[in-house]
Structure 1
Amino acid sequence: MQLNAELNGDMASVIAATTTQLPIQSEVPTRAAGKHDYRAQHSHSQPHSSSSRSFATVNDFASYIQTRKCFGCSTRLIQSQKDIEDLFKGWLTGQGIFTSLLKCKRCSTSTCVGCSSKSTGKKAAFEVTVQGTQITWCCGRGRLFLIFVILCGYDVNFCMEKQREAAKRPNVPRVGGSGIGFGGARGSPLYELNMMMPFSRGGRYAQGVQAPDPGKIRAQNSQQASDTFNRMVLSFLEELLPSLENKSNFDRTPPEAVTSMLLNCKILNKAAELLRNDSLEDATKRKDIYQALLSFLRRIGTHPITAQKTVFSERVVRDDTVNLLTLSFQSGGYGKAKEDKMSSLADSLRNLNIQSNVMLSGAQRNENEFRTTEGQNMLGMCRSISDLSEYLLANTQAGTGKGGKAPAIENAECGIEEVPDNQLLSGHYFGGIASAWSHSPPGRMKRLITEITSLKTGLPPGIFVRYGSSRLDVMKILIVGPSDTPYELGLFEFDLICPINYPNEPPKMNFRTTGGGSVRFNPNLYADGKVCLSLLGTWHGEPWRPAESTILQCLISIQAMILCEEPFYNEPGSENAASTAASRAYNLSVRKENVRWAILNWLETPVNPIWNDIVAQHFRKNANKILEIVMRWESEDTGGPYTPCPRMVRPIVRGGSSGTIATLRPRLQAQLQKYGVTAAVQPPGQAFPQQYRAQGHGATMGNQGSYESQYPPSRGAYGRGGYGSCGGYGGGRGGYGGGRGYY
């Protein structure tokens, strides 16, 4: 964007003609040669040296502009929030002049809303052109008004779209790596923009993939319209927000209200949403919006007025009933709006930078994979992200204190690591197949590098991945059993390989935690290692889509859908079964095998060296927790064999079960001593020590027994209170679990 090269002064002589105005912060000419300058269009204007009135908050400024009156007839220029909405919509669609000089609805006199100066009929004092749109203002307060209107208008559209998404969420199609499709609700600025701007209706899809259905095409076109809208807004703000590269008073010492506006606007939410994208490929396809985002972040992240609060600090996020416009014009402030704390934009940028650096490193070792236009565009995007991250984050005291990494980022990086090829292939289920491959078809390695970058920051807690230094197509995975499931805190190992024609064929996986081929832990996890999952092509349902599906999706599906609370219902034919007794019996059997093979076996047998650190850390961190859970399971274990429901779930153990948890618990406790376990053991049927009784937050006691009573042996130490249907916190379940109560 080429801005005008000189600045001759502001409208001092015109401003002096008004008698009711406050001192104005001048826009003083001064950008170095080669830099963009704002040009003053009035030859009679002189630089104004008065300081501007200080607006500390957005409410200060909103109150101020509502008092501004027409120079000719004294009619208020801004009478309601609808005036702001109409201004923004007119600016966006080109039906209104993008200026701080507003035309009076009564006498048609043009007056600057910032300083109440009357237009002389000549061009406004300051002018820039952004995305082909001419933007003009009269004074520093006029420039602040433009920022205010843009942010208010953005919020109206953002909230309207989010509410529309929520209403239609079950039917919203997913688009590529970005997830949610956007559309413009009729009457919104985005709808108006969508109606005025033609977009491509076609696209290029990977081999073997059918063209998407009309709903997906509509979602893609809506997202393209949304990206265009967001790019325009970010570009407007990037030019209007204060910058130390300019030398006007507004740029050097802007009012605190600028920061207040940004913090109360949804634009930072959108920035965070874009930064959280786990697909660099998707970001590259949407490079225009991402380049606008990076420029916007550079602008707010380098100015001392805005940087700390908008980029480097946690943000308060409120629901969509509250936005900048409602806050400015409606009484009651935030009211009862729900507030949440979100991580800083700097942390999200670090996350994206991790992906970018992995991609750049992989490209150096596989240059031929990135010689295409698409590959070069991706590397260009990665360099832009890396440059901005280094510029904003290197040696900064903001965010993490001393330029270090936030804990969440450190955890994300240790979730996936590179290991020597020979160490990975040794003992790998697919090691022989992988060793026989001597070449990789064009495009395959680039896709694998893309997958690794997504895994670097997208892995949820409890999933760990190791891949070969030169064999990115071979991986080992360790998944920690989720809370509130019969798999809780067990360690479940998988081997993965990407076929030679990947991604046109899904990855292949083998389940390793089978007790030597004796245990079928789940209807979808066979004793022979087969993993039944539609994304892997081993089960019916949502298939692998080469252009969209990812390894990350496969791993999350296993963690969330297979290692679930009631695996009994994963068996075909039992989805709608009402047999809770059969499900409970199945869970009891899974618990035993979890203790035997997914916990105790890791403690009693040598661990694969690639998992040494993870396994040791797991047991050091969770030793007490594991023993407490096993003690509860022991109290609920009747000791009888599992009897499968006819025609539904086959027995999970070949040749008999592992016995009772009671026979395994002493061995487990002995092994956990090495990891500092301190939990005391109380035989089932006796009064349980106070520190191990369920202390759920629920106000209602269990149906039987109380927290202080001696529970009957048949129900175990936890009985039906504390962990049953009435005790604890959240979801009607007490006792132990993630968000469902605690001991």
Structure 2
Amino acid sequence: MSFLKGTIFRRRGGNGKNDDPPGNNDKNNPLENQYRVATGGGGKESAPTALKEHPEDIKQNIDAVRSFLAARLAIRCYSCASNITENFSVRDWVRRWSEGAQGNPAKGCYLCAATCSSCKDLTCLGCGNKVRKSKNPLEIDGYYIDWCCRDGRLFGIWLLLARYDCVEIRWQASSPTTESKQSLARVSHSPNNRKTQDARGIGYADDRTGHYNPFATFFYDGPGFPPVYSNRPLQFHGSGEKEDEFVGKVFDFVARMIPGSRNKNLPAELHAMLQLGLLLDKVADLLRNDSLDDVTKRSHVYKAAFGLVSKLSSHTELIDLVKCARYYKQQTPGLEILSLPKLHQHGSPPLILGEKIASVGERLKQLARQSSIVLESAESQDLYTRSGENLLFCCESILSLYTIISADQDSSEIRSRVSPQEKWESFHQEHGVSRNEGIFDRTHAYYSKAIAMTYSSPGRIKRLVTELANMSTSLPIGIFVKISESRPDVMKCLIMGPPDSPYGYALFDFDLFCTSAYPNQPSQVHCRTAVGKTINPNLHPDGKVCLSLLGTWRDGDAAAQCQPGKSTILSVLISIQAMIFTEDPWRNEPAYTSAVGTMADIRAQRYVQKIQPQIVTAGMLNWLTQPRHRHGIWQREIRAHFKYNKSNILAKVDKWEKESPVLKFRGIVQELKLAIEDINRH
């Protein structure tokens, strides 16, 4: 086969295997705070039931961070014994460090040390001694950080985690109708703040350089404006550029400050503060995103999140934070308040936990599945552009992380699937999108067109690969797609008729091809199962598929037509399953679309009875009795379908047989039952 001009197709070597175990992809797991909204516009899922009291491990963690902070704040100046932590606040401490350490290595130690107001000496809050400065302090994006000892480093991590919680809680409490917006408005017009506050009321610029400093305060919460708390469940939603910049920097600093994998016996307080804080919940929220396109566009914050997860995964003491299920944080005052003695927590909301929810690793599952599709799919020069390389880097990072986290997964944590329906759903999740070079042969309806293509427009293959990756976690149950390994623009699709339609559980085979002008022109689809038969007004006996999204039907709503650059393969497949294999196919005929009344209903019923023998024969029986079908490229899907859906199929055809004398007379249903028994025996 000749290669396309301007496009190089080839297999990508290396890390290609999808190690994703079958799972339910959070389908039955309550989602923390940002509850999943149903695709069909349904309401939000309810939060997990709140626990009556904190689990023992959480109680121990709270005690650990309280003792740790108390020890740090009890340290006095090593030189004159003066109090150096009076009026301590995380916000002021982090601001002092960020304003001093931005571009100044000598002040990197300000995060973990305090200057005595009496003698001006610098004391480490980790060990209580004079600060020992490093010759090579840590630097990220112009910010320097240094520590004197192990506890000094740990104190720095605690400060960043606590500061992030303050910002996240204020984000979540902020609303256009809340007092916080009025406060922001008052502050923005204050003479003292006009030069430093960001025009959006978010963040501060450095007075000396004019550069935005995401650590300074981010949201104004200065004197006179008490912390804003909300009784609403926590809901992560910040995704603007400056929010991502701040979050990404926190991810980077925390990851870099956590000791390397060679350091053993990490302090228990580190695990405690990471579990109690909101930073890992933010990581999980980001990883819940199943759009690789969005991940690539926000690659800075995602790469930083991957770095943090990778660092945690490298430690046996910390890997459970990303590998095991997490407690749902329904409400929290933040790490700073949790670390204070109870007598200082008056007026703050309590920490309310719910049952355990999906782990960070579980959140990676869908992205890992998509990434494997991208990395295993045929490549082109599209993926060697700047954006393409960025996509590949993200996919490789995701798959590498998931492989590490999912290794030796405790089988007790994987939900046992016992019912046939659960097994069918699991099978579909694992095999919904797969690669098979066998589909690209002369029997494919568009083989000649694909061979004749000599040019592929820039960005076309990358668009296809991204679409297929997104499809791997978005396909409705009962739709399977096989992609050519060398030509991702050539596909075969198997679509199961919706259970409540006259096509229920029947299987229909389609060939699909994306022309050189895709996505500016619609894909082309041919129904192999319909050839020589009359089974639907939209599926012609020559295999033509009549559908607005394909440009083969021009009447009707303009919004239903193909939208150049926007319509997707997934939307075409969903439309075929939902709009062609409908409960009332007779009214798919343009002349009968608006037909009403008793006679119209009778004609509609007769049409169904007329096509049912062909549906049972072509959509069920032939798959089991004809060798080219039973042992063809869909053999794995055929076997699973008639195994896991057996009882539903038999119930459906028994009902049809009672309603259709033709089915009963021909003995088709009895023949089908014998064929189903035969395939389930072998």
1:540 paired residue number: 558
Return the TM-score normalized by structure 2: 0.61
Deviation at 1:235, TM superposition (A): 0.5
1:611 paired residue number: 634
Give the Cα separation in 1 of the matches to 2:176 and 2:665: 48
> Unaligned stretches of 5+ in structure 2?
1-58, 178-196, 214-236, 418-422
Give the Cα separation in 2 of the matches to 1:506 and 1:584: 34
Residue aligned with 2:633, SS? helix
1:300 and 2:312 aligned: yes
Higher RCO (CA-CA < 8 Å; seq separation 6+): 2
How big is each residue's C-alpha offset from its partner over 1:394-416, in whole Å with a ceiling of 9 and x where there is no partner? 9x4346699xxx99998545222
Residue aligned with 2:559, SS? coil
Give the Cα separation in 2 of the matches to 1:623 and 1:572: 35
1:415 and 2:432 aligned: yes
Deviation at 1:151, TM superposition (A): 2.5
How big is each residue's C-alpha offset from its partner over 1:582-627, in whole Å with a ceiling of 9 and x where there is no partner? 9999998898689655555333223642222212210111111233
Q: 1:277/1:298 Cα in 2 relative to 1: closer, same or farther (>3 Å)?
A: same
| Match 1:310 to one of 296, 309, 321 | 321
2:648 paired residue number: 625
More helix by share: 2
AA aligned to 1:238 is A
Deviation at 1:243, TM superposition (A): 2.0
| Match 1:128 to one of 138, 142, 151 | 138
- Residues 449-468 of structure 1: pairs in structure 2 closer than 5 A: 449-468=465-484
AA aligned to 1:304 is T
AA aligned to 2:244 is D
Deviation at 1:278, TM superposition (A): 4.8
1:477 paired residue number: 493
| Match 1:440 to one of 453, 456, 475 | 456
**Contact 1:521-1:590 at 8 Å conserved across structures:** no
1:397 and 2:408 aligned: yes
Sequence identity, in percent?
A: 28
Give the Cα separation in 2 of the matches to 1:476 and 1:633: 29
Residue aligned with 1:57, SS? helix
**Contact 1:525-1:531 at 8 Å conserved across structures:** no
2:250 paired residue number: 233
AA aligned to 1:623 is K
How big is each residue's C-alpha offset from its partner over 1:667-715, in whole Å with a ceiling of 9 and x where there is no partner? 43652344349xxxxxxxxxxxxxxxxxxxxxxxxxxxxxxxxxxxxxx
**Contact 1:569-1:583 at 8 Å conserved across structures:** no
How big is each residue's C-alpha offset from its partner over 1:641-682, in whole Å with a ceiling of 9 and x where there is no partner? xxxxxxxxxxxxxxxxxx4798599743652344349xxxxx
1:61 and 2:47 aligned: no
Deviation at 1:476, TM superposition (A): 1.7
Moved more, 527-536 or 505-514: 527-536
- Residues 351-370 of structure 1: pairs in structure 2 closer than 5 A: 352=367, 355-356=370-371, 358-362=373-377, 366=380, 368-370=381-383
Residue aligned with 2:162, SS? helix
1:732 paired residue number: none
Give the Cα separation in 1 of the matches to 2:607 and 2:271: 54
Give the Cα separation in 2 of the matches to 1:529 and 1:389: 40
- Residues 150-549 of structure 1: pairs in structure 2 closer than 5 A: 150-158=160-168, 161=171, 191-192=202-203, 223-245=240-262, 251-275=263-287, 278=290, 280=292, 282-307=294-319, 309-319=320-330, 324=335, 334-335=351-352, 337-339=353-355, 341-342=357-358, 344-345=360-361, 349=364, 352=367, 355-356=370-371, 358-362=373-377, 366=380, 368-385=381-398, 392=404, 396-398=407-409, 412-420=429-437, 423-424=439-440, 426-481=442-497, 488-511=504-527, 518-520=534-536, 529-533=545-549, 540-541=558-559
Give the Cα separation in 2 of the matches to 1:156 and 1:593: 67
How big is each residue's C-alpha offset from its partner over 1:144-172, in whole Å with a ceiling of 9 and x where there is no partner? 333233233334444555677999xxxxx
1:731 paired residue number: none
Deviation at 1:85, TM superposition (A): 5.2
Give the Cα separation in 1 of the matches to 2:87 and 2:294: 41
Residue aligned with 2:300, SS? helix
2:569 paired residue number: 551
1:149 paired residue number: 159
Deviation at 1:455, TM superposition (A): 3.7
Q: 1:668/1:379 Cα in 2 relative to 1: closer, same or farther (>3 Å)?
A: same
Deviation at 1:114, TM superposition (A): 5.0
Q: 1:442/1:73 Cα in 2 relative to 1: closer, same or farther (>3 Å)?
A: closer
**Contact 2:131-2:148 at 8 Å conserved across structures:** no
**Contact 1:464-1:477 at 8 Å conserved across structures:** yes
AA aligned to 1:236 is F
Q: 1:122/1:442 Cα in 2 relative to 1: closer, same or farther (>3 Å)?
A: closer
Q: 1:620/1:584 Cα in 2 relative to 1: closer, same or farther (>3 Å)?
A: farther
| Match 1:100 to one of 97, 112, 117 | 112
How big is each residue's C-alpha offset from its partner over 1:58-110, in whole Å with a ceiling of 9 and x where there is no partner? 4421354257347367697577xxx4456556666779985133579999997
Residue aligned with 1:252, SS? coil
Residue aligned with 2:463, SS? helix
Deviation at 1:446, TM superposition (A): 3.9
Q: 1:634/1:302 Cα in 2 relative to 1: closer, same or farther (>3 Å)?
A: same
Give the Cα separation in 2 of the matches to 1:70 and 1:453: 54
Give the Cα separation in 2 of the matches to 1:273 and 1:516: 50
Deviation at 1:485, TM superposition (A): 6.6
Give the Cα separation in 2 of the matches to 1:338 and 1:584: 52
Deviation at 1:497, TM superposition (A): 1.5
AA aligned to 2:159 is V
Moved more, 531-540 or 476-485: 531-540
**Contact 1:312-1:399 at 8 Å conserved across structures:** no
**Contact 1:524-1:531 at 8 Å conserved across structures:** no
Residue aligned with 1:417, SS? strand
How big is each residue's C-alpha offset from its partner over 1:208-248, in whole Å with a ceiling of 9 and x where there is no partner? xxxxxxxxxxxx99633333222201101111223224xxx
Give the Cα separation in 1 of the matches to 2:173 and 2:582: 31
Q: 1:562/1:602 Cα in 2 relative to 1: closer, same or farther (>3 Å)?
A: closer
Give the Cα separation in 2 of the matches to 1:95 and 1:294: 26
AA aligned to 1:397 is D
**Contact 2:124-2:131 at 8 Å conserved across structures:** no
